[in-house]
Amino acid sequence: MKKMMILLSLISLGATAQKIDVNKQFALAGQQYMRMLADHPDTSKTIHSAKPDGTYRDLPSSWWCSGFFPGSLWYLYENTKDVKWEKSARLWTAAVEKEQYNKGTHDLGFMMFDSFGNELRLTKDPHAKKVLIQSAKSLASRFDPKVGLIKSWNSFKGGFTYPVIIDNMMNLELLFWASRETGDPTFHDIAITHADNTIKNHFRSDYSSYHVICYDENGKVLVKKQHQGYQDESTWSRGHAWAIYGYVTMYRETKDKKYLDFAQKITDFYLNHPNLPADKIPYWDFSAPNIPNEERDASAGAITASALLELSTYSGAKGKRYYADAVKMLESLSSPAYRAALGENNNFLIKHCVGAKGLNSEIDVPLVYADYYYLEGLLRYQRHNKK
């Protein structure tokens, strides 16, 4: 009887015990990123991916991904409290600073909030605050009230001059922060208008998403297109992951239930899709033509895992499913199927990502943002289990 009681309590402990050893994963990440830093003695080019010939694909700070490597260094610092990571994170964050004046891109949220935003959160450095306010001003300059959306790119094939991509949802968090910080409601209002028009035009009735919507100068939809995914009427997996993360953020920032409801609906499209594999890491497009013989996009898996961990906390009974699926995604990403061994994968953490198969670019490679959202997801998972 006593033995049976011990067994039962062990089983119930097992059911609630953490499935992923977050500190172990961070220790591995630290070793891998020490190698990455040793290979990159200067910060003039930002760490992005690897080329087919096995060399690094490093790009200038104006590239939309320049905030992710510094952001990952900040997450390493957050987990370990080791000052060596703070030192590296400050150095790599400073390398992005000049982009605060860049009005040629909508990606300033990614670039500045993942670098300087994490610096501010973890160090309270007033300089980071100044940089972020200027970044929000530059981003807001791309909003035209007649269109009601932030312009993503300056042009798109076919002669379109006001393209908006679903990824743009990720840049709104910077605007909410700027409104709170400055007391100026303009940033907040831009974010709301952009998100509402995106709900109106960027989704189909089954809550799947388009990648690119091209508008005219009065905000009329001209065409709905694909760019990085398979076809105009398919759903590009990472684009949909950006949408999920973006509307979870909208709910966090506004507490307006309409965004929570919408975040849940687009999440359910993703989780219930018949083409989502058992390990919950999607193919690069939900309708890629040769599934199951298509590449996975682990970056979409990492972004979604992190978003679902937050969504689970807002979703009552439904939250259990979001949490369980997020944990499954993180478990998959932490397994040798996706998690690089020491020294492998050009020292990135996550393998098997796709940048844009439709453009024959970055197919089955590491991508710096997969690492960033994987580390963020691990931290959220750890916080969730400490509650």
Residue 94's SS3 state is helix
Q: Which one of 228, 237, 304, 346 is in contact with ligand GLY (CB under 6 A)?
A: 228
CA 326 to chain centroid, in Å, comes to 14
Residue 19: CA atoms inside 13 Å, Cβ hemisphere, count? 16
Closer to ligand GLY by Cβ: residue 117 or 229: 229
d(CA 227, CA 230): 8
Closer to ligand GLY by Cβ: residue 302 or 327: 302
306 near ligand GLY, judged by CB under 6 A? no
Peptide bond into 292 cis (omega under 30): yes
**Burial class, 40, CB count within 10 angstroms (exposed 0-12 / middle 13-18 / buried 19+):** middle
Asked if residue 48 lies in contact with residue 63, where contact means CB atoms within 8 angstroms, the answer is yes
Least distance in Å: CB of 116 to ligand GLY?
Answer: 19
Least distance in Å: CB of 242 to ligand GLY?
Answer: 6
Which residues lie across from 123 on neighbouring strands?
Answer: none
Catalytic residues: 107, 167
* 345-384: contacts with ligand GLY (CB under 6 A): 355
Identify the CA nearest to 208 among candidates 274, 307, 302, 109: 274
CB neighbourhood size of 275 (10 A): 15
Q: Which residue is nearest to ligand GLY (CB)?
A: 167
Closer to ligand GLY by Cβ: residue 70 or 315: 70
Lookup: tokens for 147: 């269109």
Q: How many residues touch ligand GLY (CB under 6 A)?
A: 5
Least distance in Å: CB of 228 to ligand GLY?
Answer: 6
167 near ligand GLY, judged by CB under 6 A? yes
Closer to ligand GLY by Cβ: residue 137 or 211: 211
Q: Which one of 26, 33, 56, 64 is in contact with ligand GLY (CB under 6 A)?
A: 64
Q: Which one of 194, 238, 240, 357 is in contact with ligand GLY (CB under 6 A)?
A: 238
CA 366 to chain centroid, in Å, comes to 14
Least distance in Å: CB of 169 to ligand GLY?
Answer: 10
Least distance in Å: CB of 324 to ligand GLY?
Answer: 26
DSSP 216: -
Least distance in Å: CB of 227 to ligand GLY?
Answer: 9
Q: What angle do the packed helices 185-201 and 237-254 form, to 10 degrees?
A: 140
d(CA 165, CA 160): 13
Closer to ligand GLY by Cβ: residue 242 or 262: 242
Binding flags for ligand GLY, 116-145, as an x/- string (CB under 6 A): ------------------------------
Closer to ligand GLY by Cβ: residue 228 or 304: 228
Asked if residue 178 lies in contact with residue 133, where contact means CB atoms within 8 angstroms, the answer is yes
Residue 236's SS3 state is strand
The phi and psi torsions of 249 (rounded to 5 degrees) equal -65, -40
Task: Strands of 159-280 (E only): list them.
Answer: 163-165, 212-215, 221-225
249 near ligand GLY, judged by CB under 6 A? no
Least distance in Å: CB of 248 to ligand GLY?
Answer: 17
H/E stretch holding 366 reads: none
User: How many residues are listed for the chain in this entry?
Assistant: 387
Closer to ligand GLY by Cβ: residue 238 or 339: 238
Interface contacts to ligand GLY, rule CB under 6 A: 64, 167, 228, 238, 355
